[in-house]
Amino acid sequence: MNPTEAGLKETYLIAIDQGTTSSRALLVDEKGNTVRSFQEEFPQIYPKPGWVEHDPMQIWQSVKHTLEQLACARELSAENVAAIGITNQRETTMIWNRETGEPIANAIVWQCRRTAEMVNEICGAEEIALQIKKKTGLLPDAYFSASKIKWLLDNTPGAWEEAYAGKLAFGTVDTWILWNLTGGAVHATDYTNASRTMLFNIHTLEWDEWLLDLFGIPASMLPSAHPSAFNYGFVAAGPLEGTPIASLVGDQQAALFGQCCFEAGQAKATYGTGCFLLVNTGESACESTHGLLTTVAASAPGEKVTYALEGSVLNCGTLIKWLRDNLGIITDAAETEAMARSVDDAAGVYIVPAFTGLGAPYWNPDARGAILGITRGVNRAHICRAALEAIAYQNYDLVKAMEADSCQAIRLINVDGGVSNNGFCMQFQADILETTLLRPASVETTALGAAFLAGLKTNYYASTDYLLGLRGNDEVFEPQMDDETREAVLAGWRKAIKRVM
């Protein structure tokens, strides 16, 4: 339902997909196809073991560059771009000066564990932890933004004074990009990103005074919070000046929406830097008793707020990158599939990639990674296979926890993200789960989720029914492994996790 009239240039949507290791700008047409895209990586900063930082200015410059490349390549302007949608790595925390727009320090990335001790000190009491979970749907952890804000204020000279004077602004990455795109005119976020800060009440959809007091954070630092599909303002400068910004959405909720999981009970798994499993729970904020999180999901314009259960594997794509960059076992991620298939099994090797602790359902920030079961006959192909299997094992644990919380079996999972292109990994995942996986023709569902929301808000797309009709031919992975083999490999994984824990 493209609104283009005869004689006018074809119009598009732009999705900004700001991830943990790179930023992308994608041009999306009325059929949900990615017409053109540009990508730019930016440095990862590791000041100490377990610490991860980003330079906020490098993030912004990477977004700006990819947008400019896209606009130049397709001669784009506000006349032929209906709207921009933004999706982003969540929880990553930055603070900047409202007057200068300059960050006060590097951003603390979602993976960073530096505030684990602080969280234990502030939230260690059982009654406080229960209250946090009741309000936010989250388990107290350094993963979320609240303790990161406090750490930046504690460790930047003069920051507390400036914060209480109203001079500093906090934002997750969506807020930072929006601030810069609008020339500092708009300081806002959406409910999905707000729900990952550990400062937002997911039931009232407001910043929570009790939580702000708990961490000592002044409310003046916080952005306004709105639905994911919302009129967030306009691009202030450059070739796209005047283009409306019509959606903000955290990457995992974006992927859930991009996979067209609009109904309660529908699930998706995104295999990216980390791996994230979400199931739509509709208008019910389902409380987990198995280490999962309750979070706000993205909703179509005019619809009631919906929720999701979420489980997070902290290291997925990072494990493959580690094989390439740290061990030198591969030169390209695509090599892992052929290498894994070149051996009959992993020769008893198990990798537990707890580089920065273990996420759901374990929530053990002190766990560290291990390669177990090495013998003289193990070679790099076995290590590659064990790495891909480790990704699947971690998600097996998530699915089983989710089934226990929802009291029903999950028999179909929509998959996306870079690692989902690995056919061996997806088949092994289907095998050990005894579950069907559907991989869409385009695995760019995170970016599509942001585009779909922006398109619905600006009437570029007519309805969610129209979006369902755009779904292409999915590749299907059906379980093939026999029961005896499945039980044997899972028993080995349980032993490996026990050793690391």
The rounded distance, in Å, linking the Cα atoms of 178 and 175 is: 5
The rounded distance, in Å, linking the Cα atoms of 62 and 68 is: 10
Q: Is 315 exposed, middle or buried (0-12, 13-18, 19+ CB in 10 A)?
A: buried
Between the alpha carbon of residue 139 and those of residues 47, 146, 201, 256, 363, the distances in Å are 26, 12, 13, 21, 9
Contact between 267 and 278 (Cβ < 8 Å) = yes
For 357, the 3-state DSSP assignment is strand
φ, ψ at 12 (rounded to 5°): -135, 175
SS (H, E, C) 100-121: CCCECCCEECCCCCCCHHHHHH
Between the alpha carbon of residue 43 and those of residues 64, 142, 172, 246, 460, the distances in Å are 16, 22, 18, 29, 36
The rounded distance, in Å, linking the Cα atoms of 18 and 104 is: 21
**Tokens matching residue 277:** 């499993």
Contact between 227 and 190 (Cβ < 8 Å) = yes
How would you write the pLDDT of the chain (501 residues) with one tens digit per residue? Answer: 444 433 346 899 999 999 998 999 999 999 999 999 999 999 999 999 889 999 999 999 999 999 999 999 999 999 999 999 999 999 999 999 999 999 999 999 998 989 999 999 999 899 999 999 999 999 899 989 999 999 999 999 999 999 999 999 999 999 999 999 999 999 999 999 999 999 999 999 999 999 999 999 999 999 999 999 999 999 999 999 999 999 999 999 999 999 999 988 888 998 888 888 998 988 988 888 888 899 999 999 999 999 999 988 888 888 999 999 999 999 988 899 999 999 999 999 999 988 878 877 887 878 888 999 999 999 999 999 999 999 999 999 989 888 888 767 788 899 988 889 999 999 999 999 999 999 987 767 889 999 999 999 999 999 999 998 887 778 899 999 999 999 999 999 999 898 888
**Tokens matching residue 183:** 């020339």
Dihedral over alpha carbons 195, 198, 199, 201 (to 10 degrees): 50
Q: Is 328 exposed, middle or buried (0-12, 13-18, 19+ CB in 10 A)?
A: exposed
Closest CA to 171 of 127, 119, 224: 224
- How far the first Cα of the chain sits from its last, in Å, is 52
Domains in the chain: ranges and CATH: 12-250 (3.30.420.40)
**pLDDT reported for residue 3:** 42
**pLDDT reported for residue 9:** 66
